[in-house]
Amino acid sequence: MVSIPAQKQSAVTPERPGATQELSGHHATHDVTNQPPPPAPYDASEDTALLEGLRREGAGWAEEDIRRLGLRAGSVEAQEWGELANRHEPVLRTHDRYGHRVDEVEFHPSWHHLMRVAVAEGLAAAPWADERPGAHVARTAGGLVWGHTEAGHGCPTSMTYAAVPVLRRQPELAKVYEPLLTSREYDPELRVPTEKRGLLAGMGMTEKQGGSDVRTNTTVATPTAESGVYTLRGHKWFTSAPMCDVFLVLAQAPGGLSCFLVPRVLPDGSRNTFRIQRLKDKLGNRSNASSEPEFDGTVAWLVGPEGRGVKTIIEMVNCTRLDCVMSSATLMRKTLVEAAHHVRHRSAFGARLIDQPLMRNVLADLALESEAATTLTLRLAGAADRAVRAADADGAEAAFRRIATAVGKYWVTKRGPAFTAEALECLGGNGYVEESGMPRHYREAPLLSIWEGSGNVNALDVLRALSREPGTAEALFAELALAQGADARLDAAVTRLKALLTAGSEAGARRLVEQMALTLQASLLVRHAPAAMADAFCASRLGGDWGHAFGTLPDAADVDGILERALPGGV
């Protein structure tokens, strides 16, 4: 018999079946130490700023539902749905096995699980059928927690939400479609819309030759013998969620650029011509199919008057811009939670990362940015809710919503990529690996600054609102005045902002809007957040006591107080 040297022998340890251990007593090289446990399950609603904002903006009645949804969003199951929906991307099927044109997109079951929960929880168009004050705020808060799963499925729910106020411009269409769009039932099959339990809506605006300059659209709308019915011919460039039931699209009618409703399936059960030429190969948001549909004799119904397409569809844009702010704030919070989880369980240079002063500064700086984004998001949702109710009889909230949503869209979405990069870096090399989930969040962040108008488009839209809608400036400064005298740095910032408005130019639009956003966020924190948060935000963002990267808060900042509020449970 051949003997085996003792140092080569190994045995299976009962604590870790399948693992090997040297008989000499040395630890196996594959023992795992100094790595965090999986972050899920966790409570995505464990966010003080979110819950306070929910109550403050009139939707405290929804808190129990938000907390329940937060637990579900942070569950192992829901987190896995998000990962699988992105790993198994949508697949385009232009034809069936017999050669018939079908233009369908197949999704992984996880996508449908995510969608089913989102629609059932009222994250699509349900608030438009809910008479309770704060219903739109409750939806936004739900998005802030359910968005911890994955971002792509938020696109069709957002467009469905935004389609309802546009359809109301054509009451006979709204009567048919609104009850189905506001349904809480997810019905993904392509069928005659009126035979379904619930509908989803999409939007087709941009074309290859113009992008955001939709007035250059070349899709042609030809009237038919039936009043209000047209046929479309053209090619759209970036139409997301092509499996939605109906789409609001822009096309050139005889009277100019107009808005139309395009169903995927016609009332007689036949497929409308909606040829999906290809799906976009995108940087992120990969679970969501974005497509190039071609119209050729496509049947469409006019929404609003001919030649008023942009004015008709702009309400849809305003709603989806709010959701861009919401989604950026969600990404910030999600990646902050992931970063905090890692540094609580990881040690380096003899101490836990969470206990090291420089890391605490980084986390506190990120926490400030996250709370400012969340607080602004819920204030915008509150304005939106009140703007559609009798509570806004003087139109003040509508005017504030008009300018503040564009300001928030510009700034919060701009902060997203830098924020997610810094949060990813808290995980070091672990964060650069796909298994961590952080690369997916990082890829998602830039989209929100591009979708519904890039930074320049939103900055110029603010200038347009200021020049064409005089009440908007007054509404913004009335909001800022609510914090007057509470912080000298904020008062000075308001004075500077007024001077910038007087000397404003198109070339300086970004600078102006940035100052609007920071001043507005600071005023909200001064009024509603603890002193530790408000003081550090004003010192760094308004007072100039800050560097050019996250983690450069001044020594006087109450880092412990900030972290205790933002990251309860072991900071």
Rounded distance between C-alpha atoms, residue 523 and residue 537, angstroms: 10
The rounded mean pLDDT for the chain is: 93
Q: What is the pLDDT of residues 557-570, one digit of tens each?
A: 999 999 999 997 76
| Cα angle: 103, vertex 109, 111; to 5 degrees | 75
| pLDDT tens-digit readout, 174-222 | 999 999 999 999 999 999 999 999 999 999 999 998 888 888 899 999 9
Q: Are strands 239-240 and 290-303 parallel, antiparallel or unpaired?
A: antiparallel
Backbone angles phi, psi at 249, to 5 degrees: -130, 160
**CA–CA separation, 109 and 235 (whole Å):** 30
- Confidence check: pLDDT of 136 > 50: yes
Residue 25 reports pLDDT greater than 60: no
CA proximity to 162, closest of 145, 140, 147, 141: 140
Can you tell me the mean pLDDT for 95-122? 97
Residue 20 amino acid letter: T
pLDDT score of 18: 42
What mean pLDDT is predicted for residues 94-116? Answer: 97
Predicted local confidence at residue 26, as pLDDT: 56
Choose among 42, 48, 52: nearest CA to 72: 42
pLDDT digit string (tens) for 458-509? 999 999 999 998 799 999 999 999 999 999 999 999 999 999 998 778 999 9
**pLDDT class of 11 with cuts at 50, 70, 90:** very low
Averaged over 360-367, what is the pLDDT?
Answer: 98
Instruction: Take residue 97 and report the two structure tokens written for it.
Output: 């096995």
pTM for this predicted structure: 0.94
User: Is pLDDT above 80 for 2?
Assistant: no
pLDDT band at residue 430 under the 50/70/90 scheme: very high
Cis peptide before 41 (omega within 30 of 0): yes
Q: How far apart are CA 160 and CA 244, in angstroms?
A: 9
Distance from chain centroid for Cα 502: 33
> Regarding beta strands 246-253 and 201-204, do their DSSP bridges make them parallel or antiparallel, or are they unpaired?
parallel
CA atoms of 256 and 138, how far apart (whole Å): 38
Q: Using the predicted structure, report yes or no on whether residue 147 has a pLDDT greater than 60.
A: yes
Instruction: Find where tokens 């119904």 sit.
Output: 301
Rounded mean pLDDT, 422-445: 97
**What percent of the chain is helix, strand and coil (3-state, nearest 5)?**
55, 15, 35
